Structure 1
Amino acid sequence: MKIRVQAGAMLAAIWVFFTILGGTAEAHFSSTGFSDITVKDKSLEYNVFLLEKELIEALPAIDQDGDGKISESEFAGSHEILTALVHDRLIVTGNSKVGTGTVLVAKKTEKAKMPMIEIDINYDFGEPVDRYMVQYNFYDGTNPDHRSYATIRMGQQSIVQVINSSNNILQMEGYHGADVGTTDTAAAGDSEQKPITTSSSWTSVLKEYTTMGMEHIWSGADHLLFLCGLILAAGASGWTMLKLISAFTIGHSITLVLSALDLASLSPLIVEPLIALSIVFVAFENILRKKDGANTEKKRLAVTVLFGMVHGFGFAEILHGTMSGNIALPLFSFNLGVEIGQLAVLAIVIPVLWLIRKVMTGNRQTWWAYGTSSLVGLMGLYWLIERLISDFKM
């Protein structure tokens, strides 16, 4: 009977690792875009940023030679189909009247340290608009996990909202100062303009970026799997577990600050394989480590801080794509969201592992630790290989 219970516990653990934490190899950029929206008196400018492969998925005809990449000549000959795609996937209304988007340019660019496709669209309504509404439908039905981080600007105001399949409609008050389309500087009427959507107070900034941080850690299966590796490294010691998680937090907090201040940056093409490598390292270090007391623990803490810094660059990808102006509150809020997301995951995983350790006794507990660490390492190795192959193709 005990053997059946233990086997069941092992199978349940495998299911947890692969179905909850498995995710996809491209955990952060599997389906991520950006929307830069500038609200004006009579018009709205919309710059949408998409991954090249996702634009090809949505519009296969643009890749005329079928090589998986969009050349300048293919861009030049695709104005009509790009315009049709924009009209189909992006609906903008002003005072309840549907606007006709004019595609100004489509080009390859860089956003959030990643190569992306930028499509610049202008919606001109010809008269002052009291209220705009945007309905974002890119990849609707083909990729339900797609999200776009929207930065909405009106004069000197700026807020960020996350667009996804369950929240794809934005509403904005019209700009009622001087028309900023005639100058690059803020007009005198800025102080009297209406707020964007809702008041852009410190509480709304706190809410938006905290939510963004929580969603980012929950959608990052590799971050979660690394945390599980740290928990396994701690064994049954709650104090060791706390120190390892704190070391990881310190590491990624340092990188977030440096990255937000533009003092350090690293391309996701480098960061993503390194994050996968960190999972492989912590997993096999769990298996191969020697118990030699304080020295081992100090080394493990130092390595955890180092890998925490690497993961911090993964968190910073989104901040690079959305933050402008005052960074203190957004940075604090995003990091707070990441920590809340971590704690929520740990609150679920730790009791499960504790129960399994209670079931496993003697040598079986050792083999359990080896088995689960091996699963973590194999998943990390799979991601590492797939990400390296993906980078090579790009």
Structure 2
Amino acid sequence: MRKYILIITFLFTSSSIFSQINFEKGYIINSSSGKILCFIKNEGWVNSPDKILYKLDMSSDKVFEGDLSNIKEFGFKSNVKYVNRLVNVDLSSNLINKLSKNREPNFVLKQVFLKQLIDGKANLYEYRSSKVTRYFISLSLDEIIPLIYKRYKVNVTQIAENVSFKSQLYENLKCSSGELSTLRKMDYYYKDLMEYVGAYNLCETGENIELIDLNRKNQFLLNVKAGAFLSTMSVDYRASGFTANVNSGKFDNRFSPRFGLELEYMLPFNKNKWSLFVEPSYQSFNSSGVTDLNGTLNSQDINIEYSFVEIPVGVRHYMYLSNKDSRLFFNLAYVVVADFGGELEYSENLNLDIKSRPNLLFGFGYNLNKVSLEFRIATSRNIVSEYSSYSTDYKNIGIVFGYHIL
């Protein structure tokens, strides 16, 4: 167990070494309304930031800090933009066990950086914290209107919704006759709000600028995986009442191919550096060996036929290199196993059915465009878990080749 802790420590220590977040070309507008071109540390914020770090010269070691007291606006060349505004933020909880009986929002006046999602005649903004996500619109630079959505308790068993944001949109952003049918189907969700505000801008002026890609978040990827693994296994027999193994056997090591598909979900923060994945893959291990000669127990021939589908469910962390199309990555996954029959056979008429326990895997690799190559190692797995007197130590290490198809 100690060596696996060391592996995890190595992986995440390496992650912190290689995955430094870069300073990117951008600008700030300071408290004197002066625009300054600079390089901002883009941390891919999940929540709205309250401060930023920036450099005036990329080659300089001097880093400045800007916050709500001295930055009116900042943005990046990549079209990400934050504006500093004093707004009413509804801090009502959306958690069922914390819902209030009050239908009205719990407004608190706050100075915040709002992320601008739409730029046009009508503007759309987003504020995120660890507890709430709120949206705002404006038709001028001065007045920003909080869009109201709140869940509240009617009684112990009934929950209702205050969806005033729909009437707010209708009253403030009305251009064509189709708004009412669209509003009825709308959710308080950035995609729905962006589509509505964008449609209004196009209807009014023919111009609409989206400051984020609607498809950037919630991205799923499909990858084909193939690999070759070296598998090792030993089996131990411990009779009832004995603390030490009475009889042990070791199988010959075997190389075997592995084939599978991986579904990967890119998490919508930290510049796509984190993802979740599931990778069902087929593999087999067919081998033979001999048990030790121990006291009155004779040495026996042993054979194993083991076919299975591993289903790793895990987390992946990417570290981008100087070439924007290449990156290193680390994996950590919990592996569930679906056995396809098979038996562990002793020469003296003893057959053990296969029943695998879950285990863990660790991996690190390199990704270039659509292609990836990964080294992977798995912890020990007991594949005869239904027998109290028998246990196995099945392990494998290998190389996995991946190709992105969707």
Normalising by structure 2, report the TM-score.
Answer: 0.25
Computing the radius of gyration from Cα coordinates, the structure with the larger value is 2
Greater percentage in strand: 2
- Name the structure, 1 or 2, with higher relative contact order (CA <8 Å, separation 6+): 1
Greater percentage in helix: 1
